Amino acid sequence: MTKRSSKQRAEAAAARRVVVKVGSSSLTSAEGGIDAGRLTALVNVLAAAHREGREVVLVSSGAIASGLAPLKMARRPQDLASQQAAASVGQGLLVHRYTDAFADHGIRAGQVLLSADDMTRRTHYRNAYRTFAKLLELGVVPIVNENDTVATSEIRFGDNDRLAALVAHLVHAELLVLLTDIDGLYDGDPRKSGAKVISEIPHHDMLADVRIGKSRSGVGLGGMTTKVEAARMGTQAGIPVILAAASDAAEALVGRVGTYFHPTGRRRPTRLLWLAHATEPRGQLVLDDGAVRAVADRRASLLPAGIVEVRGRFVAGDPVDLVDADGSPFARGLVNYDSDELPSLLGRTTHALKVEMGEAYQREVIHRDDLVILEI
């Protein structure tokens, strides 16, 4: 175990509202099903925190893993339809286990299933926040998972690490704890001798020299890369993040073990966090130097006049990357045109397009409110 400084321990222990994420690998047995002992041990820790007056939101993987055995699946399926079927069967079983385990402590648990729309559409987002706020007010422990049964490959969070970071932002958490089967972020391959846990990440520049390994289990979706990305999302939103082993959950909740990621930014709209970190671009727009400066430096909307090339196929509303003349992505945004429409508009002003084609074409290719600068 890597010990924390007294200041970090105090900050973690003082956090009143905490989001805890646990991965499938930390909840499953060698056979791939949910390990009742591991789940109970985690609930005991969270229940203790609850009794101390801390508000806990649990983001739990394991729905698909829970559905494998009942459906006689030997391993996690690769196709989305089978994953959704397993999640449909397993989600109820998983929440039932949590409900019973928390009930042993006199605590009620509530299920919250989220989709990407709940984070990106304003009305959905506000409703989700109100639901969480009321559950916490009533002393309920929300158990969160992605709504796998209806999500599509294009609009998924991708993994519960990213979902946890977005939930932490949504509920105004003061701490995000990512529990996994490895006891922190290592300075080398954790399977090799000599590798050590990095006690803290004060800034993102340190990550450039860190080798990212994989989780030990094959039942989960996210490896260490997604956990580091989730930590980046949380810290950029002003939330400290701790990455630790699930077996050390009690120590992690008070900041004594694992890797501590210092917050590096201020809170910003959740939809922009989702756009930057939890979307896959469907295409690219190559910009001239003037447009690059306007978007990157002045945070201006992207207009057709600054685009020199369209790459890929996409439709209005899809995420696309903005790249400079060297092909390096520097921003991502939600585009207002289909890829088939754009080539005839390139290099032209919105006024000229309005005169020739009508008022519908006097609009931005990407509005600045739907743009985020990528921190590479």
Does 343 lie in the same domain as 269?
no
Give pLDDT tens digits for 31-43: 667 889 999 999 9
Does 86 lie in the same domain as 11?
yes
Does 285 lie in the same domain as 254?
no
Least confident of 81-90, 198-207, 356-365: 198-207
Q: pLDDT: is 36 or 204 the higher one?
A: 36
CATH number of domain containing 303: 2.30.130.10
Which domain does 161 fall in, by range?
6-275
Question: What's the mean pLDDT when you consider all of the chain?
Answer: 85
Does 265 lie in the same domain as 231?
yes
Per residue, the 3-state secondary structure of 337-368, as one string, reads CCCCCHHHHCCCCHHHHHHHHCHHHCCCCECH
Per residue, the 3-state secondary structure of 15-37, as one string, reads CCEEEEEECHHHCECCCCCECHH
Give pLDDT tens digits for 270-280: 778 778 876 78
Does 235 lie in the same domain as 143?
yes
Does 62 lie in the same domain as 38?
yes
Residue 151 located in a structural domain: yes
pLDDT-based confidence at 357, cuts 50/70/90?
confident
Look at residue 155 in the predicted model and tell me its pLDDT. Answer: 41
* Total domain count, the chain: 2
Could you tell me how many helices (H) and strands (E) the chain has, helices first? 12, 13
Beta strands 319-323 and 329-334 are antiparallel
Does 76 lie in the same domain as 37?
yes
Does 296 lie in the same domain as 200?
no
Last residue of a domain, one of 252, 275, 298: 275
Ranges of beta strands (E only) in the chain are 17-22, 55-60, 109-114, 141-146, 175-180, 200-201, 241-245, 259-261, 283-287, 307-312, 319-323, 329-334, 371-373
CATH number of domain containing 129: 3.40.1160.10
Residue 306 located in a structural domain: yes
Give pLDDT tens digits for 274-324: 788 767 899 999 999 999 999 999 999 999 999 999 999 999 988 999 999
Residue closest to 335 by CA, chosen among 353, 317, 308, 313? 317
Look at residue 217 in the predicted model and tell me its pLDDT. Answer: 44
Collapsed DSSP state (helix, strand, coil) of residue 69 = coil
Residue 212 located in a structural domain: yes
Does 293 lie in the same domain as 269?
no
Look at residue 313 in the predicted model and tell me its pLDDT. Answer: 95
- Span 179-207, mean pLDDT? 82
Look at residue 196 in the predicted model and tell me its pLDDT. Answer: 87
What is the rounded radius of gyration, in angstroms, for the C-alpha atoms of the chain? 22
Token pair of 202 as six digits:
């004060």
Q: Is residue 30 pLDDT above 60, yes or no?
A: yes
Collapsed DSSP state (helix, strand, coil) of residue 287 = strand
Does 120 lie in the same domain as 246?
yes
Q: pLDDT: is 366 or 210 the higher one?
A: 366
- Please name the residues in contact with 49: beta carbons below 8 A apart, sequence gap of 6 or more: 18, 56, 253
Q: How is residue 105 annotated by DSSP?
A: T
Residue closest to 296 by CA, chosen among 209, 205, 374? 374
Distance CA 17, CA 22 (A): 17
Q: Is residue 3 pLDDT above 70, yes or no?
A: no
Residue 122 located in a structural domain: yes
Last residue of a domain, one of 275, 302, 323: 275
For the chain, give the percent of residues with pLDDT over 90. Answer: 46
Give pLDDT tens digits for 65-74: 888 888 888 8
Distance CA 136, CA 131 (A): 9
Residue 1 located in a structural domain: no
Does 101 lie in the same domain as 79?
yes
Which secondary-structure segment (H or E) carries 6?
A: helix 6-14
Last residue of a domain, one of 275, 290, 308: 275
Does 223 lie in the same domain as 313?
no
